[in-house]
Amino acid sequence: MSEHAKLILDGQPVELPVVVGTENEKGIDITRLQANSGYLTLDPGYANTGACKSAITFIDGDKGILRYRGYDIAELCEKSTFMEVSYLLINGELPTPEEFARFKDKVLLHSLIHEDMKNFFNSYPGHAHPMAILSSMVCSMSVYHPELLKPNPNAKETSQTITRLLSKVRVLAAFAYKRSVGEAFVYTRPELDYVSNFLHMMFTTPMRPYEPNETIRKAMDVLFILHADHEQNCSTSTVRMVGSSKANLFASISAGVCALWGPLHGGANQSVIEMLEDIERDGCNYRKYIEKAKDKNDPFKLMGFGHRVYKSYDPRAVILKKYCDQILEQLGINDPILDIAKGLEEVALTDPYFIERKLYPNVDFYSGILYRAMGFPTNMFTVLFALGRLPGWIAHWKEMIEDPTTRIARPRQIYVGPTVREYVPASQRA
């Protein structure tokens, strides 16, 4: 017999079905609660609310486990590639060699943007943040592909929109960077893989072709894999929410880019580096910043620390910390902010404030140090996160539109404003 939870409201029992996931996660299904009892649930920040069933990513925040479609993140980083992981997330299974070859060919084929779109880039001021450019450009792509605007999960057009997005968002990101540094746009080279092509479009100049270095290429690939999905985070929930109104994929992804930009989410990678640079300028006194983070009268937070779901070390940060040491050594870089980051982490992990609140370094604590070593400017860091997260957003959008139980996302509220009152003419207002 299936399990039920019993809730007593106004002395009356309300039976609610219990839902159990494949990893034995349990939830109380309140779909009929409002209709049967008149009561709503109140959960600011949705910390206790499951908005959907999903078969894409599993996280155990207490044990520090992250798996895509059942595969452990560390194993994927070691044995797979970002392109293969993208296929896995979107289609549910690892590809056969033939399926993978077809997928990569399609992604390569779509790596040009409409020439008219280049004019848009020139209209932005040079100092424009690349996240602003990226979100508007992704939405603008819909103008050039009106045939792809209907969300139909089974249509050939949807698969085309998906490969177009995967390929072109990388081009838009590189062009946004080129615009910000006043350099000529660079096109993809057919013989290069996805990640090498991105690095080539970013760093090749007419004076100096960029020859992708294997150390940097592998690190970029791992960073993208680590960012590729993270179940119902703020930006993915945004993509699902916008998409639930049947807005097209371009519009939904563009909204996801905007949600990611915030410093509490993907924008944290930029904020971490800015914080570490501030500490360096302030004589590397990181203990002072630990005290600031603990002071409830100080709005300062230790960026790159804490997570809604992880109550132990973020498994992505474990991998990145190791990579930081390796990559900086291989590239012969001695970055003082890596020492500051390690010092901060050491102090925080032994401080009762952080221990009691289970605050550990998250993925953004070390990713920025790697991006910096690879030559990316700080304001591009969140764009790199967006590129990595793109297959996850797409996978969730696809899962949502294929799910027959999906309804338009429309939370409720408990109204706490004034009760009914009469309109006061302007002349009678004090």
Q: Which residues are catalytic?
A: 307, 364
- Can you read off the two tokens belonging to residue 229? 């999905």
User: Quick one: 265 or 321, whose CB is closer to ligand CMC?
Assistant: 265
CA proximity to 137, closest of 185, 171, 92: 171
- Can you read off the two tokens belonging to residue 203? 């760093």
Contact range with ligand CMC by CB under 6 A, out of 18-26, 283-291, 354-362, 394-402: 354-362
Selected from 107, 138, 268, 387, the binder of ligand CMC by CB under 6 A is 268
> Do 139 and 254 touch, CB atoms closer than 8 A?
yes
357 binds ligand CMC (CB under 6 A): yes
270 binds ligand CMC (CB under 6 A): no
| Residues between 22 and 81 with contacts to ligand CMC, criterion CB under 6 A | 45
In the complex, what is the shortest distance from the CB of residue 43 to ligand CMC, in angstroms, rounded to a whole number?
12
| Residues between 279 and 338 with contacts to ligand CMC, criterion CB under 6 A | 293, 301-308
User: Quick one: 110 or 265, whose CB is closer to ligand CMC?
Assistant: 265
Q: Alpha helix (H) ranges present in 301-335?
A: 315-330
109 binds ligand CMC (CB under 6 A): no
Amino acid sitting at position 318: V
- Can you read off the two tokens belonging to residue 331? 């590239």
363 binds ligand CMC (CB under 6 A): yes
Q: For ligand CMC, which residue has the nearest CB?
A: 306
User: Quick one: 162 or 226, whose CB is closer to ligand CMC?
Assistant: 226
In the complex, what is the shortest distance from the CB of residue 306 to ligand CMC, in angstroms, rounded to a whole number?
2
265 binds ligand CMC (CB under 6 A): yes
Neighbours of 64 (CB within 10 A): 17
CA angle 34, 39, 45 (to 5 degrees): 95
User: Quick one: 186 or 253, whose CB is closer to ligand CMC?
Assistant: 253
17 by Cβ neighbours in 10 Å (0-12 / 13-18 / 19+) ranks as middle
Helix H or strand E segment including 251: helix 249-261
> Do 135 and 258 touch, CB atoms closer than 8 A?
yes
Site string for ligand CMC, 195-234 (x = CB under 6 A): -----------------------------------x--x-
Which residue, chain included where needed, has tokens 């501030």? 278
The per-residue DSSP string of 17-58 comes to: EEEE-TT--EEE--TTHHHHHS-----GGGTT------SSEE
Which residues of this chain interact with ligand CMC, rule CB under 6 A?
45, 230, 233, 264-266, 268, 293, 301-308, 357, 359, 362-364
